[in-house]
Structure 1
Amino acid sequence: MAPRCGLCYVQAVDPLNVEHAGRTLRGVLHLPHPHREPVPAVVLCHGFGENRMGSRDEFVRLARLLADKGVAAYRFDFAAFGESDGDPADFSVSDQVSQLGAVLDQLERNRAVDPARIGVLGFSMGALTAVLTAGARPLRTLALWAPSGGALNLPFWNGGPYRDQIRDWGYADYNGIRFGRAFLDDLPGLDQFAAARRHAGPVLLAGGTEDSLMRAELIDPYVEAWGARLELHRIEGMGHSPGTLAERERLLDLTGEFLLRTV
């Protein structure tokens, strides 16, 4: 997706790590140049078992688009994923919420970033993490790609082999991704819809018509919570993530336009 610019910025991409609970979360900050004043920023939160690149480099492309238009973007790996420290057995959504809080704290202290203009984008489990975080602290704007269902997905996790695997092996194997009991035990206490009602800013929610996470049971409570502040997009034929170039371009275009307008 080529940036459509009246004014395009040069961007620096620099390592920026965050310390959290004895672990190093590794990430990179896309920062537009030149800038005389602090710039707005968006934090990108990847999905379960993924990393700061995104499932098909979507996060890299989105970060470049934002920085080209004067908005900083921070991509990082949650603990136990990508290049960040951590044991997959300790993974839980609540721990990711705490990690994201540490990331936001550090960005708010960064002199290049306007602390009053920070938004968050998340995909799947990262989107669930983003919603829960938005319920705990003010965020300028929120963008969600196919948010995970949290406790409403417990029938899936409990109906599979995962608890037996944890009992027998000490961990579970989901499509080659290892996790432990902490993840399953954490889910029942999550209430993303209560958190959603505490977020006062604009929201984009986008996903595919063929994605079960976009079903009414999981999406209608967001519509009720956010009303006219929600921009809801269902991309025809798309599954949980873009499967064609056209789907990816559509998702990036509508997300980039929303974030540039609202952050």
Structure 2
Amino acid sequence: MPTQTTPLTIKTPRGVHLGGVLVTPASTDAIRGQACIAHCFACSKDFPATVRLARALAEEGIATLRFDFMGLGDSDGEFRDSTLDTYCEDLHSALEALETHTGNHTNLLIGHSFGGAMAIYVGAQRESLDGIVTIAAPSRPGHVAHLFGDTTDTIRNEGAARINIGGRPVEIGRAFIESIEEPTLDTALETLERPLLLLHAPGDTVVSVDHARKIFQQARHPKSFVALHQTDHLLSRPEHTRYVAGLIRAWSANLLD
């Protein structure tokens, strides 16, 4: 199915403008629902897996917003000023901008890796959503700190430090590290009253599949888990993102209809 893209500017309550792209079927008659993707940590809306997933979902009839969190891609602000609160505010703002633009409520909130933890965190606060989907999500936001390695002490002592994540240089601030130390997904999972789909590769070497087990055990029904056989953490191969999009469409069929 042909798709088309529309730039979308997202304004947050703190005045930061975020860059977004809405990917839709070329024919409005083919739209069955809409979704928003929270990308992986320090990635962007233009990360290959995010681009391919949004396009594949649009081909399945699900209009999908991909956007940049603060300080990444086309968004304003400095990434080093990010905290758990700014991440949540950005995601809430993206959902509100999508719904204002289309005039429809958002059916699915989808999060990849750290974005998956954010999807659960924020999804529990938005009753209008029909379902939450996580891909390779950690069971607590603080898991992402393992990416900082020995630089953590430098960040604490000096206030910020530049590190490489997946070959991309980013600056991490002390406020971010402090903001993710204590919070868990426990309360969000206990109060989440929407269907939850967990997608995770058993061989994931970045976020162990054990995180999916913990989330699944804590979450309330209805909940589903699908093992992504032979995929990697970043869904590096195009056929993997197409597979994931097909799973999401099949799982959400009754929610969209």
Q: Please, which of 6, 19, 40 is the counterpart of residue 33 of structure 2?
A: 40
- Give the CA deviation at 1:151: 5.1
1:128 corresponding residue in structure 2: 117
TM-score scaled by structure 1?
A: 0.82
1:25 corresponding residue in structure 2: 18
Closer, same or farther in 2 for the Cα pair 1:254/1:165, shift >3 Å? same
Paired with 2:144 and 2:20, the residues of 1 have a C-alpha distance of: 31
Decide whether the 8 Å contact of 1:78 with 1:99 is kept in 2. yes
Q: 1:16 is paired with a residue of what secondary structure?
A: strand
Q: 1:12 is paired with a residue of what secondary structure?
A: strand
Q: Please, which of 200, 203, 214 is the counterpart of residue 208 of structure 2?
A: 214
Paired with 1:243 and 1:233, the residues of 2 have a C-alpha distance of: 18
Question: Is 1:146 equivalent to 2:136 in the alignment?
Answer: yes
Aligned-CA RMSD value: 2.8
- Give the CA deviation at 1:12: 3.4
Question: Is 1:80 equivalent to 2:71 in the alignment?
Answer: yes
- Give the CA deviation at 1:37: 11
How many residues align? The count is 250
- Give the CA deviation at 1:81: 0.9
Paired with 2:139 and 2:153, the residues of 1 have a C-alpha distance of: 19
Paired with 2:144 and 2:241, the residues of 1 have a C-alpha distance of: 29
- Give the CA deviation at 1:38: 8.6
Closer, same or farther in 2 for the Cα pair 1:71/1:128, shift >3 Å? same
Closer, same or farther in 2 for the Cα pair 1:244/1:31, shift >3 Å? closer
Decide whether the 8 Å contact of 2:201 with 2:209 is kept in 1. no
- Give the CA deviation at 1:126: 0.9
Paired with 1:196 and 1:68, the residues of 2 have a C-alpha distance of: 31
Closer, same or farther in 2 for the Cα pair 1:53/1:23, shift >3 Å? same
Decide whether the 8 Å contact of 2:160 with 2:171 is kept in 1. no
Paired with 2:56 and 2:147, the residues of 1 have a C-alpha distance of: 36
Q: Deviations over 1:190-244 (max 9, x none)?
A: 221320222222221112112252343x223322233552221222343322344
- Give the CA deviation at 1:64: 2.4
Moved >4 Å (runs of 4+): 36-39, 243-246
Q: 1:26 is paired with a residue of what secondary structure?
A: strand
Question: Is 1:198 equivalent to 2:191 in the alignment?
Answer: yes
Paired with 1:206 and 1:143, the residues of 2 have a C-alpha distance of: 8
Q: Deviations over 1:12-34 (max 9, x none)?
A: 31111111122110011123354
Decide whether the 8 Å contact of 1:71 with 1:260 is kept in 2. no
- Structure 1: state its 5+ residue gaps: 1-7
Paired with 1:241 and 1:11, the residues of 2 have a C-alpha distance of: 23
Q: Please, which of 27, 33, 52 is the counterpart of residue 61 of structure 1?
A: 52
Question: Is 1:104 equivalent to 2:95 in the alignment?
Answer: yes
Paired with 2:213 and 2:220, the residues of 1 have a C-alpha distance of: 10
- Structure 2: state its 5+ residue gaps: none
Paired with 1:177 and 1:82, the residues of 2 have a C-alpha distance of: 12
Decide whether the 8 Å contact of 2:46 with 2:73 is kept in 1. no
Structure 2 counterpart of 1:59, which letter? T
- Give the CA deviation at 1:154: 7.5
- Give the CA deviation at 1:165: 4.1
Q: 1:78 is paired with a residue of what secondary structure?
A: coil
Paired with 1:151 and 1:51, the residues of 2 have a C-alpha distance of: 18
What percent identity do the matched residue pairs reach? 20
Q: 2:134 is paired with a residue of what secondary structure?
A: strand
Q: 1:75 is paired with a residue of what secondary structure?
A: strand
Decide whether the 8 Å contact of 1:134 with 1:198 is kept in 2. no
TM-score scaled by structure 2?
A: 0.84
Decide whether the 8 Å contact of 2:70 with 2:76 is kept in 1. yes
Closer, same or farther in 2 for the Cα pair 1:113/1:180, shift >3 Å? same
Structure 2 counterpart of 1:100, which letter? L
Closer, same or farther in 2 for the Cα pair 1:69/1:166, shift >3 Å? same
